[in-house]
């Protein structure tokens, strides 16, 4: 279907007919205990992926691939679904799969165009998701809707136009060509209006709203009104949370909130009461999803999901910058970073180029890592102590950002631009902190350290450079 042999998206799509606590920050809470590996988690991963896709952070709900990629574990069985009798275990994926997930603004029919394709509008969300059975991981790349790309026969424009011009086939080709020939195996398109139903179905999601969000557009009958603080959002409020873009970071702030919502969904779906609601969620999806899935492929995805722990889900946003008013005739874009793009594709999608990563750069220096420091404790002097610690470890390129509105029990190292090697090196240097692969830190950083209430534990940790992987000499690879 594609001119590029690496992109394999079936033509099963309908063609377009047209172009906290009082007096301070809330204390950390204990969540539900994880359910561990098993069938339940597989179903929850599937449901999380569904809701997330609609919310704009999807992990590729019911992400499909060809029957050739779905193998029978039990010898002698045919591919007939009825022979499985609902048993998920005969199905698995045989190699890494890349899925394009798009949340689409539904196109409503009119008298002039009664047969309009409801999935033919612009994409409100675009993600590239990698299911990797070799690493037993799920990796998600959020592509901001304002990303500047070249679309054949159209020219340079925003990437969210691709679906409207040519459906998932064109969208896949645009991503493939602009991101360095990343193979795309399948697509999923979900209308964004399903978010409210699904969040309400799971009983809402607990999210910390960092600041008041208010916006009203009477012509579009749109009202967003969320107070700041920790709260349980219903479906309508969750949609407001992920679609609000009227702050300093605009569309990029949306991407970060979408990742936050995904984490909240994962926490919510780990509750045992969610199991009984999965069939109803599938019913909701039946009317809101356009994809080339088969039932065997759905079962293969669930079987893959049942082997995942939550920490094996890694998220990253396409690195880049906001365009300047003097560029591109004043039209606002997200301009992708070539170096950042290569790093993400290498670390998350196994696209190997001749450009070395930070970890492989001869004579690498910690000074190359740009680190943001955020205070998530009730100690106003916490960051000063962290700065002294970093200086003693030869880190120089760090800066403070605004304090976290929420206290954290555990220090986090947020991988803002996909540099997983650098994050683990920093973690090893500190002797503490949890690496979290999500782009919800400071936009200007490579890594953001959210200093938690466990600061005394790792500041007193005897970690020294003697414990670390040796610094490579010229010509030696890192790590």
- In this prediction, residue 357 carries a pLDDT of 53
* Beta strand pairing call for 137-142 and 123-132: antiparallel
Q: pLDDT, tens digit, for every residue of 354-387? A: 555 555 554 456 667 899 999 999 999 999 999 9
Adjacent-strand bridge partners of 104: 123, 191
C-beta neighbour count of 12 within 10 angstroms? 13
Per residue in 27-70, pLDDT (tens digit) is: 444 332 333 333 333 334 444 454 443 333 333 333 333 333 43
Euclidean distance between CA atoms 445 and 372, whole angstroms: 6
Instruction: Count the Cβ atoms, other than its own, within 10 Å of residue 443.
Output: 20
Q: What is the pLDDT of residues 125-159, one digit of tens each?
A: 888 988 888 988 888 898 999 999 999 999 999 99
Distance of CA 382 to the CA centre of its chain: 30
Full-model pTM: 0.70
Q: Show Cβ contacts of residue 347 under 8 Å, excluding neighbours closer than 6 positions.
A: 357, 418, 419, 420, 421
Spatial CA neighbour of 152 closest among 161, 143, 139, 140: 161
Contact 323, 332 (CB under 8 A): yes
What pLDDT was estimated at residue 83?
Answer: 42
Asked if residue 224 has pLDDT above 70, the reply is yes
9 pLDDT above the threshold of 90 = no
| CA contacts within 13 A on the Cβ side of 317 | 34
Domain 39-349 identical in fold to domain 358-467? no
Return the domain boundaries, the chain: 39-349, 358-467
Cβ 419 vs Cβ 339: under 8 Å: no
Greater model confidence, 218 or 382: 382
Nearest partner of 199 among 274, 124, 252, 99, judged by Cα: 274
Strand partners, 232: 206
Query: What values do phi and psi take at 159, rounded to 5?
Result: -65, -20
For the ranges 35-44, 84-93, 183-192, 328-337, the maximum mean pLDDT occurs at 328-337
Average pLDDT over residues 198-202: 83
Mean pLDDT estimate for the chain = 73
Write down the CATH number for the domain with range 39-349.
3.40.630.190
Contact between 54 and 192 (Cβ < 8 Å): yes
pLDDT of residue 13: 31
Tokens 């107070």, residue located: 227
**Which tokens belong to 32?**
């539900």
Q: How far apart are CA 148 and CA 123, in angstroms?
A: 14
Segment holding 319, helix H or strand E: none
Copy the structure tokens of residue 11: 């033509």
Task: Output the CATH code of domain 358-467.
Answer: 3.30.70.2390
Q: Between these two residues, 55 and 349, which has the higher pLDDT value? A: 349
What CA–CA distance (Å, rounded) separates 309 from 293?
24
Sign of CA dihedral 330, 216, 288, 310: positive
């Amino acid at each position: 279907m594609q001119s590029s042999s690496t992109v394999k998206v079936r033509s099963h799509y309908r063609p377009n007919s047209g172009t906290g606590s009082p007096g301070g920050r809330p204390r950390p809470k204990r969540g539900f205990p994880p359910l561990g590996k098993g069938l339940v988690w597989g179903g929850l991963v599937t449901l999380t992926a569904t809701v997330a896709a609609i919310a704009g952070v999807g992990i590729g709900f019911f992400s499909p691939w060809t029957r050739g990629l779905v193998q029978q574990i039990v010898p002698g069985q045919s591919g007939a679904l009825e022979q499985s009798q609902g048993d998920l275990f005969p199905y698995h994926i045989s190699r890494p799969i890349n899925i394009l997930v798009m949340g689409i603004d539904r196109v409503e029919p009119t008298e002039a165009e009664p047969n309009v394709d409801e999935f033919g509008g612009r994409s409100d969300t675009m993600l590239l998701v990698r299911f990797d059975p070799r690493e037993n991981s799920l990796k998600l790349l959020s592509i901001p809707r304002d990303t500047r790309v070249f679309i054949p026969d159209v020219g340079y424009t925003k990437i969210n136009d691709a679906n409207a011009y040519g459906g998932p086939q064109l969208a896949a080709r645009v991503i493939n060509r602009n991101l360095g020939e990343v193979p795309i195996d399948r697509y999923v398109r979900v209308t964004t209006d399903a978010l409210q139903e699904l969040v309400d179905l799971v009983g809402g999601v607990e999210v910390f709203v960092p600041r008041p969000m208010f916006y009203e557009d009477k012509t579009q009958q749109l009202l967003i009104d969320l107070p700041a603080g920790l709260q349980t959002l219903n479906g309508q409020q969750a949609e407001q949370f992920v679609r609000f873009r009227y702050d300093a970071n605009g569309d990029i702030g949306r991407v970060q909130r979408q990742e936050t919502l995904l984490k909240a969904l994962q926490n919510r779906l780990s509750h045992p009461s969610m199991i009984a609601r999965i069939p109803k969620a599938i019913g909701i999806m039946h009317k809101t999803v356009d994809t080339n899935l088969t039932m065997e492929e759905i079962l293969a995805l669930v079987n893959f999901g049942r082997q995942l722990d939550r920490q094996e889900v890694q998220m990253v946003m396409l690195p880049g910058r906001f365009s300047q008013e003097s560029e591109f005739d004043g039209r606002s874009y997200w301009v992708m970073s070539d170096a950042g793009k290569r790093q993400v594709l290498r670390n998350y999608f196994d696209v190997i180029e001749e450009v070395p990563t930070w970890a492989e750069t001869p004579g690498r220096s910690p000074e190359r890592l740009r680190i943001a420091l955020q205070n998530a404790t009730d100690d106003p002097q916490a960051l000063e102590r962290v700065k002294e610690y970093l200086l003693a470890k030869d880190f120089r390129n760090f800066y403070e950002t605004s304090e976290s509105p929420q206290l954290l029990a555990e220090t986090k190292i947020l991988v803002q631009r996909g540099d997983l090697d650098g994050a683990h090196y920093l973690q090893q240097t500190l002797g503490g902190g949890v690496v979290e692969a999500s782009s919800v830190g400071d936009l200007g950083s490579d890594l953001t350290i959210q200093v938690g209430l466990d600061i005394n534990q790792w500041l007193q940790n005897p970690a020294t450079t003697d414990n670390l992987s040796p610094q490579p000499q010229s010509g030696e690879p890192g790590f």
